Structure 1
């Protein structure tokens, strides 16, 4: 029996923590910034929403260039430099007193978030042994999943018991810790680099082999955006508001509990044997949500979606890296997250249009059918040609 390579090295633990702290700050602000903008500057909701939207837009733009220049500038240099600016922009939230200055700060911080996550994702891909690619990518993604549950909880808790200033101060402390931890990271040298070419070339910004699986996550993430945008309103419609606050906590717990198994299965049995059941679980999760009448059924949908969609993100990222040349991991990582960012940016608007024509219950029924279509798309763009793993 061949012994598997070591995964939990010092540097992998550090990059895990960097990803966690970065996303704690991200989600801490994500749930509070629109409320803060509307309250502080007396704006309407559409203007307040720009404080969130401009962050996502900047992150997307930054990824386009980060993937190309990451190895040329140096992975650790880009990571620490971006974290430094990210931390300063977080501190500036405490003292900002002008709406347009806030938008500029949010844009800068969003751009740095795109650079940080591209650099960290690429470094993690280099640190994860090839024979534990699915497992390692899954664990790395878990750091974001934990932050997704902890960040919003922390932000809302601080706002309810203190003030907006306290939220920003705590976010700044987390950002400073994030920066300090990154200084202890030893970054492996990239395995081979392409010679820089003159002029504009699409391959300098996007990895073509990562596009097919990135398209699938783009389509599925549009469906997931319906949860971020309208879950609370749906819970009001079916009289389950008291339970809705636990949805993403249950989502994260279900994902964390199953992560040690799903990652190993991905490496042992191959992508298809794991991803097809995960897609079916996601379909079942949204269908369960669409028929929920009790708190138990409502939270059961969180379990199914957490295991299904939550695991698919890391699995698809692992596929994007596997399908790409080893010396283009930075571009495959940025390509994958560019599609994910784009979906997170436009998804709420697409779903918002649908809501004007149907009830929330019908919306989640429609989303169920949409993910079934995504399963078919997955089969044709990747599944039917995926390499089989011999046992």
Structure 2
């Protein structure tokens, strides 16, 4: 790989695999609850568990993959994740009761957590030091696009005769495509054993979590929590405020804004550090949440989508890049899993906790309170990372450059 090159065959292939894995997740997240209800008569709460237990599995997969990725290598971990992903995707055809469906969803989440931790680690390993922020920004677009396209495809498949079977078949087909793509590309990354060579001591916790990635990941947890209500309650909220038609374009506008802004924010991160991007992201996200909470017309909802995409959407890639940049190369896998574990906790716990508030406060009030949560991240970010951003990143860049 030439020094400074970004759009290599390895980069495109791994990013595409990550897109297909995430696409499957979002395709099923919006369709599996109706499947549980129609096929097994599941209650609303149980159907919700069928949907959300996948995230629990993903956390387990990330935790395990992050720990062993330095020992056996990110390439082998991705093979393990993709093979398990294919096998478990096939098991949906052999589900005979609700209990078995829950187990399959849990295992599917574990496989996805393993595979996506590996893809994120490989990307961090193959990117040139000088373009890490920009490269991770482009890579994370694969997940952003999947959040918009996955639910759309899922709804289309459900309209077909035997729609659920088509949905499962589509998932298996995507798993096969991932395996084929990965088998034909050569990726030059450490083959394993790097963790053992560098780590002789350390607490039990440090073997599963990267401490240097925790501060920025905690901010991601809070930001993920503040966004989780938008992701989970948009359809209910839009129906309540009579903006269902406009809401159907919400995630499309969100994805378009992220798609066009992400390259610029990634370059800024590499050139100027995280602060110049992160602080505006917090403010713009808060403005977007304000518009979202007070929307009375379709244009307000769509402008809110653009602001949330520009603020929240870009913060994600910046935070992930920071977590990787601050971490020793042999612990990049742990840093990647640490970031996504805490981020996923925010996304996963948020709807559950906010769901208790909605009946008494209403959607508008709940979303209004999220503005305060977002703004609280500004001083929290300054304390945990912002005040030392340039010094840490400059030191890290010099160290990594010297090691090349």
After TM superposition, the structure 1 = structure 2 runs for residues 84-99 of structure 1, keeping only pairs within 5 Å, are 84-99=83-98
Q: Distance in 1 between matches of 2:281 and 2:3?
A: 25
Displacement of 1:200 after TM fit?
6.6
- Structure 1 residue ranges without an equivalent (≥5): none
Moved more, 69-78 or 235-244: 69-78
Moved more, 49-58 or 141-150: 49-58
Residue number in structure 1 paired with 2:308: 305
Residue number in structure 1 paired with 2:49: 50
Aligned residues of 2:70 and 2:331 also touching (Cα < 8 A): no
Aligned residues of 1:137 and 1:318 also touching (Cα < 8 A): yes
The one of 274, 277, 281 aligned to 1:278: 281
Residue number in structure 2 paired with 1:240: 243
Give TM-score, length-normalised by structure 1.
0.95
After TM superposition, the structure 1 = structure 2 runs for residues 53-68 of structure 1, keeping only pairs within 5 Å, are 53-68=52-67
Give per-residue Cα distances to partners, 1:23-57, cap 9 Å, x unaligned. 11111111101111111100101111121222111
Q: Does 1:100 align with 2:103?
A: no
Aligned residues of 2:71 and 2:196 also touching (Cα < 8 A): no
Residue number in structure 2 paired with 1:159: 158
The one of 177, 201, 206 aligned to 2:204: 201
After TM superposition, the structure 1 = structure 2 runs for residues 160-309 of structure 1, keeping only pairs within 5 Å, are 160-162=159-161, 163-190=163-190, 192-195=194-197, 201-309=204-312
Give TM-score, length-normalised by structure 2.
0.92
Q: Distance in 2 between matches of 1:358 and 1:214?
A: 29
Residue number in structure 1 paired with 2:7: 8
Aligned residues of 1:83 and 1:116 also touching (Cα < 8 A): yes
Displacement of 1:350 after TM fit?
1.4
Aligned residues of 2:70 and 2:196 also touching (Cα < 8 A): no
Aligned residues of 2:126 and 2:189 also touching (Cα < 8 A): no
Residue number in structure 2 paired with 1:332: 335
Moved more, 14-23 or 161-170: 161-170
Displacement of 1:211 after TM fit?
0.3
Q: Distance in 2 between matches of 1:6 and 1:142?
A: 18
Displacement of 1:73 after TM fit?
2.4
Q: Distance in 2 between matches of 1:376 and 1:233?
A: 32
Displacement of 1:181 after TM fit?
0.8
C-alpha RMSD of matched pairs (Å):
1.8
Displacement of 1:359 after TM fit?
1.7
Aligned residues of 1:321 and 1:332 also touching (Cα < 8 A): yes
- Structure 2 residue ranges without an equivalent (≥5): 395-404
Q: Distance in 2 between matches of 1:286 and 1:244?
A: 14
Residue number in structure 1 paired with 2:144: 145
Aligned residues of 1:4 and 1:131 also touching (Cα < 8 A): no
Displacement of 1:379 after TM fit?
1.3
Residue number in structure 1 paired with 2:116: 117
> Cα gap change, 1:48/1:277 in structure 2, threshold over 3 Å: closer, same or farther?
same
Aligned residues of 1:125 and 1:329 also touching (Cα < 8 A): yes
Displacement of 1:209 after TM fit?
0.4
Task: Report how many aligned residue pairs link the two structures.
Answer: 388
Displacement of 1:303 after TM fit?
0.4
Displacement of 1:317 after TM fit?
0.4
